[in-house]
Amino acid sequence: MLIKSLLSSSFPSVVRCFSSIEPNVLRSGDILRQTRVYSSEDVLEYSKVSQDSNPLHFEPEIARAAGFDDPLVHGMLVAALFPRIISSHFPGAIYVSQSLHFRLPVYIGDKILGEVQALNIREMKKKYLVKFSTKCLKNGELVVLDGEAMAILPTLAVFEEQSTIDRS
């Protein structure tokens, strides 16, 4: 029940695009997406947990003096979309690595689309090592963050309860 509760809390928009005929099994090329809008409360709570109290995240004057329009959402908070997307579709997934390139700032209230695309799938000892391309887009078009992730999945069967399938 804890997993079901976590999967349904405050992340209503998850979309899958399938390249394969079998819609319940992950294949190379499949894309999993989720949209999120970050609030000032999200930034405050992340700051407490991470102990990152950089004033760029809270003080408009300091953020503007550094060349930004407003205080920033923590980049690592935005990047947390990637393991969230993967684990919501593959409960029990183990994150192995993540590379990140921060391209543009994210501000409170920005609509961010997180996307992971399966690039390579390798079976190993009844589990699957999957390489994903990862990116976050602001307003569906501007890349704010990208990289690659590796995860060990217990199965390639996709947990569907929280997903909307997009086959267009």
Element (H, E) at 153: strand 142-153
Name the average pLDDT for the chain. Answer: 86
Does residue 163 carry a pLDDT above 80? no
The pLDDT of residue 158 is: 87
pLDDT score recorded for residue 160: 65
Averaged pLDDT for residues 63-71: 96
pLDDT at res. 70 = 96
| pLDDT one-digit tens code per residue, 72-103 | 999 999 999 999 999 999 999 999 999 999 99
Let me know the angle formed at the C-alpha of 39 by 38 and 41, rounded to the nearest 5 degrees: 130
Question: Average pLDDT, stretch 122-141?
Answer: 95
- In the predicted model, what is the mean pLDDT of residues 154-158? 92
Predicted local distance difference test score (pLDDT) of residue 152 = 97
Between the alpha carbon of residue 130 and those of residues 32, 67, 97, 156, the distances in Å are 13, 38, 11, 10
CA distances (Å), 14 to each of 17, 25, 35, 81, 159, in order?
Answer: 10, 17, 7, 11, 12
**At 17, is the pLDDT very low, low, confident or very high (cuts 50, 70, 90)?**
low
- Three-state secondary-structure class, residue 88: helix
Q: Report the SS3 class of residue 53.
A: coil
Give the pLDDT confidence score for residue 1 in this predicted structure. 39
Cα–Cα distance measured from residue 59 to residue 71, given in angstroms and rounded to the nearest whole number = 6
pLDDT at residue 23 tops 70: no
Does residue 6 register a pLDDT over 90?
no
pLDDT at residue 159, as a whole number: 81
What proportion of the chain, given as a percentage, has pLDDT over 90? 76
What architecture is the 2-38+75-166 domain classified under in CATH?
Answer: Roll (3.10)
Mean pLDDT to the nearest integer, 59-71: 96
Share of the chain above pLDDT 70, in %: 81
